[in-house]
């Protein structure tokens, strides 16, 4: 027999064996694992779910989406959604366009200052031989020296990480809000 045929048949046999083992494993019943103990229910505020999401806001948003429909696009749709959501919220505090622009400009200036500070800190750490994690924490600590608000947020984020809270989850957001406010 030819060596090529022997090798080919061995490969086919090995594939068949792997397939048979896979089928046998798939047919066996999984071992039951004990269910984890349920986490204590967090106290919820009226209008929120246990994960911290606001149900009334979500319902209002869905109602506005169906009301606005799909015929509008871009800025027109955004304005219609803003108007609808403002109507749904009722008599809550409404911002004027000038106030919205002022807040938007402040956030933009804050982002620009943050970007410049990050760039300066990156330059100071550039020639040091650091791992990626060391460089990231070094940049964060460098920025935190000049910006106390960022330092507070960073301390809260590290505390949330130590508590193994999943980012972008309701408990994480609630913890960050209460920590940053100092409650």
Parse the chain into domains and list their residue ranges.
53-92
Query: Among 18, 51, 47, which Cα is nearest to 174's?
Result: 51
Cα 53 to its chain centre, rounded Å, is 14
- Check residue 92 and give its pLDDT: 54
Q: Which two tokens mark 20?
A: 């048979």
Q: Could you tell me what percent of the chain has a pLDDT over 90?
A: 8
In order, the DSSP letters of 47-76 are: TB-TTS-BHHHHHHHHHHHHHH-SS--HHH
pTM: 0.42
- Check residue 42 and give its pLDDT: 46
- Check residue 163 and give its pLDDT: 92
CA separation for the pair 163, 159 (Å, rounded)? 6
Residues 130-157 have a mean pLDDT of: 88
Residues 16-36 have a mean pLDDT of: 71
- Check residue 38 and give its pLDDT: 52
- Please, what sign has the CA dihedral across residues 145, 147, 150, 155? positive
> Does residue 32 surpass a pLDDT of 80?
no
- Check residue 30 and give its pLDDT: 58
CA separation for the pair 107, 100 (Å, rounded)? 11
Q: Which residues of 87-117 are buried (b: 16+ CB within 10 A; e: fewer)?
A: ebeeeeeeeeeeeeeeeeeeeeeeeeeeeeb
- The total of other beta-carbon atoms located within 10 Å of residue 146's CB is 12
**Torsions phi, psi of 33, nearest 5?**
-105, 140
Residues 57-66 have a mean pLDDT of: 81
Residues 147-157 have a mean pLDDT of: 87
Residues 3-26 have a mean pLDDT of: 83
pLDDT in tens, 78-120: 888 888 888 877 645 567 788 878 878 887 887 888 888 889 9
In the chain, what is the straight-line distance between the N-terminal and C-terminal CA atoms, in Å? Answer: 81
pLDDT in tens, 112-138: 888 888 899 999 888 888 899 999 989
* Stronger pLDDT, 164 or 106, i.e. the higher one: 164
Which residues lie closer than 8 Å to 26 by C-beta, 6 or more apart?
Answer: none
- Check residue 2 and give its pLDDT: 82
Query: Among 92, 69, 68, which Cα is nearest to 80's?
Result: 68
* Stronger pLDDT, 89 or 52, i.e. the higher one: 89
> Does residue 4 surpass a pLDDT of 50?
yes
**Torsions phi, psi of 91, nearest 5?**
-85, 20
**Torsions phi, psi of 48, nearest 5?**
-125, 155
């Amino acid at each position: 027999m030819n060596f090529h045929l022997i090798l080919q048949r061995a490969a086919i046999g090995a594939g068949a064996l792997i397939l048979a083992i896979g089928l046998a494993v798939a047919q066996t019943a999984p071992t039951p694992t004990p269910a984890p103990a349920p986490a204590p229910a967090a106290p919820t505020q009226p209008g929120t779910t246990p994960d911290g999401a606001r149900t009334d806001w979500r319902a209002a948003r869905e109602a506005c989406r169906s009301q606005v429909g799909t015929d509008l696009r871009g800025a027109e749709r955004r304005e219609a959604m803003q108007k609808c959501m403002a109507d749904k919220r009722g008599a809550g505090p409404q911002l004027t366009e000038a106030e919205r622009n002022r807040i938007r400009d402040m956030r933009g200036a804050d982002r620009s200052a943050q970007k410049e500070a990050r760039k300066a800190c990156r330059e100071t750490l550039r020639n040091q031989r650091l791992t990626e994690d060391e460089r990231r924490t070094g940049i964060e600590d460098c920025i935190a020296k000049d910006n106390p608000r960022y330092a507070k947020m960073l301390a809260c984020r590290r505390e949330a990480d130590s508590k193994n809270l999943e980012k972008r989850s309701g408990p994480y957001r609630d913890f960050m809000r209460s920590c940053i406010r100092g409650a």
